[in-house]
Structure 1
Amino acid sequence: MIRVLVADDEAVLRAGVRAILHTDPGIEVVAEAADGREAVELARAHRPDVALLDIRMPRMDGLDAAAELRRGLPSVAVVMLTTFDEDAFVARALEEGASGFLLKASDPRELVAGVRAAAGGAACLSPRIARRVISVLRGDRRFARYEQARAQVVALTGRERDVLALLAEGLSNRQIADRLFLSEGTVKGHVSAILVRLGADNRVQAAIIAYRAGMVDG
């Protein structure tokens, strides 16, 4: 069972997200929060697998909440609920350890799939904003140069590059394992090594480096 915390200051949106997630018998919403501070407190109490955080919330916004969860509960996958007008928050969200982004107006199937992907350790990017996220981060100094990204990727082993390419396509560890005929544990080990070699904090940052290096069509 995938345990989820939903945090948004709009009760109607929380109710909608809860209703959508409850259509999947493998997902359970264990807590709901109306602000970032409450989200952190409930996450500590319930230890969810995934935290869906609105970026703009009172008391503590989703970005600060993500930072606290990263420090105190690193096992919780944080996914930001966003809108098209919040590009400016993307870089900071990734710096604070966000596993991905989903549009508030996502198709219900996309929301469920995103939660499942995040719980499985995969990058979680709504298809409608994935390219926007990558575009925004092209100005970030860590991903500013094609040559730099290429140099980072070249330092990986051949198998690590295979794993990175599939990771950048949004595949989970299980899906990568099936595609490459490896065990899930072996893939997990490769992913951990890739993050260290690339200097990436999470799978989304690693995926962006793969895009910048030309490994995946962007």
Structure 2
Amino acid sequence: MIRVLVVDDEALVRSGLRMILEAAGDMVVVGEARDGDEAVSANTRLRPDVVLMDVRMPGTDGLTAGARLMAGPRAPKLIMLTTFDLDEYVHEALRVGAVGFLLKDTPPRDLAAAVRTVAAGHAMLSPTVTKRVISSFADRTPSRAEAARGRLATLTAREEDVIRAVARGLSNAEIGRELKLTEATVKAHVSRVLAKLNLANRVQAAILVHDADLG
């Protein structure tokens, strides 16, 4: 069972998310929190696999709490929730280590599928909503772009091919077909690239490529 912590300041929203997730059959909501402080405390106590957290909450908001969760000794997989599909806070959340975000009106089936994807260790980098947010709010100043290109210059040609494909939202299998590599080889390349660039996940890799104006 996938253990999920739901964080939202509205009780009705928390209740709805609980019903949707537990109806999926392979996940259980182990706790709820009303703000960021409660979320950090509940994460320590309950050790969920996935934290589903609202971006905007009174008191400690989701962005601040998300940074604290990612910096902790046992960081969960973090998905941010937002009412708006263009929310500047979401882009910053991706930078601190969240693996994606969902709109609150996401269909129940897609919500459950997203939690499964994240729990399995995959970033929620789709060519649609998540990538649109990255494109809309990435700060591509000349200095940032130059710094990003400098980091990417440490990669081999093949590694750069792989990270560009990651930035387009392709899965390992899709990258393998495109580059004529086995899925296992692609997985090894991705792991090596993330380690070499000191990146937490594929979403951060995509942001780096976009910052370099190569995506």
TM-score w.r.t. length of structure 2 = 0.79
Residue 9 of structure 1 and its aligned partner are, at CA, apart by: 0.8
Residue 208 of structure 1 and its aligned partner are, at CA, apart by: 2.6
Change (3 A) 1:96 1:150: closer
Distance in 2 (alpha carbons) for counterparts of 1:77 and 1:143: 31
- 2:14 maps to what in 1? 14
Residue 3 of structure 1 and its aligned partner are, at CA, apart by: 1.1
Say whether 1:64 aligns with 2:64: yes
Change (3 A) 1:90 1:30: same
Say whether 1:76 aligns with 2:43: no
Amino acid at match of 1:115: V
- 2:51 maps to what in 1? 51
Distance in 2 (alpha carbons) for counterparts of 1:43 and 1:60: 15
Contact 1:123/1:167 (<8 A) preserved: no
Q: SS where residue 84 of structure 2 aligns?
A: coil
Residue 50 of structure 1 and its aligned partner are, at CA, apart by: 0.8
Residue 123 of structure 1 and its aligned partner are, at CA, apart by: 1.8
Say whether 1:34 aligns with 2:34: yes
Contact 2:86/2:133 (<8 A) preserved: no
- 2:90 maps to what in 1? 90
Residue 21 of structure 1 and its aligned partner are, at CA, apart by: 1.4
Q: SS where residue 9 of structure 1 aligns?
A: coil
Distance in 2 (alpha carbons) for counterparts of 1:161 and 1:215: 10
Distance in 2 (alpha carbons) for counterparts of 1:206 and 1:61: 25
Change (3 A) 1:61 1:143: farther
**Gaps (5+ residues) in structure 1?**
none
Say whether 1:204 aligns with 2:203: yes
Distance in 2 (alpha carbons) for counterparts of 1:140 and 1:14: 36
Deviates more, 1:83-92 or 1:26-35: 83-92
Number of matched pairs: 212
Residue 93 of structure 1 and its aligned partner are, at CA, apart by: 1.2
CA RMSD of aligned residues (A): 3.2
Change (3 A) 1:64 1:150: closer
Deviates more, 1:85-94 or 1:59-68: 85-94
**Gaps (5+ residues) in structure 2?**
none
Contact 2:126/2:169 (<8 A) preserved: no
- 2:108 maps to what in 1? 108
Contact 1:122/1:171 (<8 A) preserved: no
Q: SS where residue 23 of structure 2 aligns?
A: coil
Amino acid at match of 2:193: I
Contact 1:6/1:14 (<8 A) preserved: yes
Contact 2:77/2:118 (<8 A) preserved: yes
Deviations 1:93-142 (A, max 9, x none): 12322111111111222212221221122221466522431223332459
Query: Alignment identity in percent?
Result: 48
Distance in 2 (alpha carbons) for counterparts of 1:143 and 1:129: 27
TM-score w.r.t. length of structure 1 = 0.78
- 2:137 maps to what in 1? 137
Distance in 1 (alpha carbons) for counterparts of 2:87 and 2:135: 10
Distance in 1 (alpha carbons) for counterparts of 2:195 and 2:16: 38
Amino acid at match of 1:23: A
